[in-house]
Amino acid sequence: MTDASRDLAPRIRPRRLRQSAAMRRLVSETDLRPRHLVLPLFVREGLDAPQPIGSMPGVEQHSLDSLRRIAVQAAEAGLGGVMLFGVPATRDAIGTGATDPDGILNVATRAIAAEVGDTLVVQTDLCLDEFTDHGHCGVLDDRGRVDNDASLERYAAMAIAQAEAGSQLLGLSGMMDGQTVAVRTALDDAGFIDVALLAYSAKYASAFYGPFRDAVDSQLTGDRRTYQLDPANGREGVREALIDLDEGADVVMVKPALGYLDVLRQVADLSTVPVWAYMVSGEYAMIAAAAQNGWLDGDRAQLEALLSIRRAGADAVLSYAALDLAQKGLLT
């Protein structure tokens, strides 16, 4: 030990604040509680029992009955909400099932809103990709390109259908220009002024969505790079968030989360509304699959990933591990 370090030794000892669990808890900068997490759920038309999703260990497509049960468990665990995704039996070019009151997502929303709507926030994905036979998030024109403005008309109709079914928050995930103001206007004109909007503002064209496409039986061929963001662009994500704020978003989203923590931090520093992030299917599945193989402690890794997202500025996180972690008492 040098004279200089000896002089500093009595004064600088950061490890003093790490010496016990109680001390670490006292000085912890970031917390992760059940209320900070939203559980994404898949409901598939025609199922009579849950069906495991091979590329997402521990995650299932649900029947209406199992969806009710899992939503009750989520409420009892104190989660912030559930985000519902519908998997229809049939699809067409304009996603008719998305606006059909008897379509699987709207039926499921009514069921869950009746079951748990007062105890957690029932949320619905507002996008056409699950319902179209081409798998894109919007309507296609006669040249096979996504027609932005025609898609907005479908989004407005979807918003009314989901609000009528009892959704309290609509997740605008299609990445069409002007979608937030279009949906907000449609809802207000129809009298649904209290339905909140979550804008997937910085949604990147990511390879980490792969398992999700298995979960919703996506019909997509090609890619969505003409409307989702280039992973190379950080400022563009901030710009999209600012646009959604101007258009009246109640919450803005960064998706995926782990690969875009820099964007999340920038959006959180600028936003005047809550900022959420989505730890997407591939991010979840990497950890879950590694844990299955005994390569890491799955619970600790999921918690560490979620804490990093919270630390980067997310007020809430969509996570497939949310209920499992809450039921194990690991969220405090």
Which one is catalytic: 75, 255, 264, 313?
255
| DSSP H or E segment with residue 61 | strand 60-62
pLDDT at 3: 61
Report strand pairing: 121-126 vs 81-87: parallel
Per the CB < 8 A criterion, the answer to whether 83 and 42 are in contact is no
pLDDT at 264: 98
In the chain the domains, ranked by start, together with CATH numbers, are 31-327 (3.20.20.70)
- How far apart (Å, rounded) are the C-alpha atoms in residues 331 and 326? 6
- How far apart (Å, rounded) are the C-alpha atoms in residues 39 and 50? 16
Report strand pairing: 251-255 vs 196-203: parallel
- DSSP assignment, residue 18? G
| Nearest partner of 132 among 88, 95, 180, 164, judged by Cα | 95
| Nearest partner of 69 among 2, 29, 116, 5, judged by Cα | 116
Alpha-helical runs (H) found in the chain = 3-8, 21-27, 64-76, 104-116, 148-165, 179-189, 210-215, 235-246, 261-270, 281-292, 298-311, 322-327
Q: Is 328 a catalytic residue?
A: no
pLDDT at 182: 98
Which one is catalytic: 134, 203, 224, 310?
203
List the chain pLDDT tens, one digit each, 332 residues.
566 666 655 678 899 999 999 999 999 999 999 999 999 999 999 999 999 999 999 999 999 999 999 999 999 999 999 999 999 999 999 999 999 999 999 999 999 999 998 899 999 999 999 999 999 999 999 999 999 999 999 999 999 999 999 999 999 999 999 999 999 999 999 999 999 999 999 999 999 998 988 888 888 877 888 999 999 999 999 999 999 999 999 999 999 999 999 999 999 999 999 999 999 999 999 999 999 999 999 999 999 999 999 999 999 999 999 999 999 999 97
Alpha-helical runs (H) found in 78-143 = 104-116
Residue with tokens 């002089």: 7
Dihedral sign for Cα 93, 161, 274, 130, please. Answer: negative
| Global pTM value | 0.94
